Amino acid sequence: MKNCAIKGNGNRRSFLKKGLFTAGAATVSAGLRSLPTFGEEKSGHLPTGDAAILRFLAAAEIIESDLWQQYAELGGTQDSEIPGLPTGGNPLYTAALQLLDADMPQYVHDNTDDELTHQNFINAYLASKGANTVDLSHFATIPGSTATGSSGKKRLTNLMELNVDTSFWTRYRIDNENPDLDPTFTFAQAVMIQNRTAIPRDDTDTMGSFIDPLGNLHATDHLKAIAFTAGFHFAFIEQGGTSLYPSLAQRVTHPEVLRILLSIGPTETMHFQTWQDKAGNATPLTDVDPKTGASVSFVDLTMGQPESLQANLIMPEPTTFLDKRKFPVCSIIRPTETKGSAAAALKAFMDDGLFNGQTNQQFFDLLNDLAEGADAAMREG
């Protein structure tokens, strides 16, 4: 079952009155315990646009937390720091991720922990200001992995039918094109990843792979391809946050809200740079998924590549900024065009296949409403 469609306003407002937002009257301690509201979104003591931006970011962080928890269950360091862990993990998948870098399990764990703190902080801040918070837990209906290490919980996101947009790779390595200045320019994909799983769907995806008595992994190309897909998906997800926070920061009014966006945003950038560095360690292989027939080919990006694909160019290449006719090139986050940035982030989630299997149209209506509210925000004063 594929995604439901994102529709126009329709009766979305009446739907929002049925408790999709939660009131900020209750405070947050170990977790969000908020009272339901049956009115329109409330901004409390915040400017309306600021509250709308924070709600969209809260939703985005909830979605990210959901997908990262799946990665952490199967491939992250197993400890009690993250709610729901340890599950014991999936040793074969974890070892396959370590083909990209030996520290991948710790990085997956820490990225998961970061996203959970982001969602909890933003909702707590909204609640402290008397504004509505966001709760998507009742939409967690997508079946997840049944492989060893999975908690077996229903999910908000689907990591098993991904279309990973790897154009972030060339977008940061080309010095004469900026997506803000030329949105029609097509940045090349580093890898074509269509309808691929980034986690073992069940234990058949790890069959044929084993860890020998010396601790060495002997992996099938299929398991390697799953892990390498995850590596590029990690970078894709975090590149979105890297751009989203500075884009929306240009629309906030309250200095404290600006401080929040300018403080959380750089952590997403730190994640992105880490993940693009590790993804570049994927080794050449071609795999045809035995269940879907979808093929993927990874190439060696560390040798003999043009500058636009060179794996070790993880620092953003300087590019045109603001006006290519007036100013020299500058190394920047890209894109940061603020118009429609929330809607673009939502579209990227949709195109990624993250919501394949979500059949509740109300989920998509809510996300669309949150994006519209954030994009409509204007700096006041």
pLDDT at 32: 36
Residues shown for the chain: 381
CA distance 301 to 294: 22
**Cα 18–Cα 23–Cα 26 angle in degrees, nearest 5:** 140
CA–CA gap between residue 346 and residue 348 (Å, rounded): 5
Tens digits of per-residue pLDDT, 18-54?
Answer: 445 554 443 333 333 343 333 456 788 999 999 999 9
**Mean pLDDT of the chain, nearest integer:** 91
pLDDT tens, position by position, 220-248: 999 999 999 999 999 999 999 999 999 99
Domain positions in the chain: 12-376
At residue 18, the pLDDT reads: 45
Q: Are 220 and 209 in contact (CB under 8 A)?
A: yes
| Residue 370 and residue 13 in contact, taking contact as beta carbons nearer than 8 Å | no
What's the confidence (pLDDT) of residue 59? 98
Read off the pLDDT of each residue in 298-316 and give the average, rounded to a whole number.
Answer: 94
Do the strands 193-196 and 217-218 form a parallel or antiparallel pair, or are they unpaired?
unpaired
pLDDT at 12 over 90: no
Report the alpha-carbon angle 11-13-15, nearest 5: 70
Q: What burial class does residue 251 get, using C-beta atoms within 10 Å of its C-beta: 0-12 exposed, 13-18 middle, 19+ buried?
A: buried
